[in-house]
């Protein structure tokens, strides 16, 4: 029972730090979209996804909902980026690389790593 409490505290602390990071990422993404470095529509969708991720980690502090939401959004990033802007291939490749890094670093369960890797390969 003690390990479950430790795991819940670990998830809560992770979500608390990810909330701040996701909010800062949303501001940075919006700024880079406004400047013109990120493509217009995919940049706004990326900003919205970062804000939703921040909101999910704030609403559900003891679950991995925000981590799974970010994993799914990043795993299918090539699909939605290229649907919104077919010329934004470098942006889609960048998000795919971020997805690979997040899958390797943040997911501890091997079955979840396999799921996100398969989802990313399908997209």
User: What DSSP string describes 1-52?
Assistant: -HHHHHHHHHHHHHHHHHHHHHHHHHHHHHHHHHHTSS-HHHHHHHHHHHHH
Q: Are 56 and 42 in contact (CB under 8 A)?
A: no
Q: What is the pTM of this model?
A: 0.83
> What confidence score (pLDDT) does residue 112 get?
87
Q: Are 13 and 57 in contact (CB under 8 A)?
A: no
Query: One digit per residue, pLDDT tens: the chain, 123 residues?
Result: 567 777 777 777 777 777 788 888 889 999 999 999 999 999 999 999 999 988 888 888 888 888 889 889 999 999 999 999 999 999 999 999 999 988 888 878 888 889 998 998 888
> What confidence score (pLDDT) does residue 102 get?
86
Range of the domain at 18: 2-122
Query: Mutual orientation of helices 89-106 and 110-122 as an angle, nearest 10°?
Result: 170
> What confidence score (pLDDT) does residue 61 get?
80
> What confidence score (pLDDT) does residue 17 get?
74
> What confidence score (pLDDT) does residue 13 get?
75
What total of structural domains would you count in the chain? Answer: 1
């Amino acid at each position: 029972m003690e390990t479950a409490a430790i795991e819940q505290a670990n998830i809560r602390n992770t979500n608390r730090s990810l909330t701040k990071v996701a909010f800062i990422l949303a501001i940075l993404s919006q700024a880079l979209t406004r400047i013109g470095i990120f493509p217009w529509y995919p940049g706004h969708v990326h900003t919205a996804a970062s804000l939703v991720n921040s909101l999910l980690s704030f609403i559900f502090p003891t679950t991995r909902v925000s981590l799974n939401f970010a994993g799914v959004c990043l795993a299918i990033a090539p699909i939605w980026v290229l649907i919104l802007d077919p010329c934004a291939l470098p942006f889609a490749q960048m998000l795919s690389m971020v997805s690979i890094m997040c899958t390797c670093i943040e997911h501890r369960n091997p079955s979840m790593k396999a799921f996100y890797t398969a989802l990313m390969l399908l997209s």
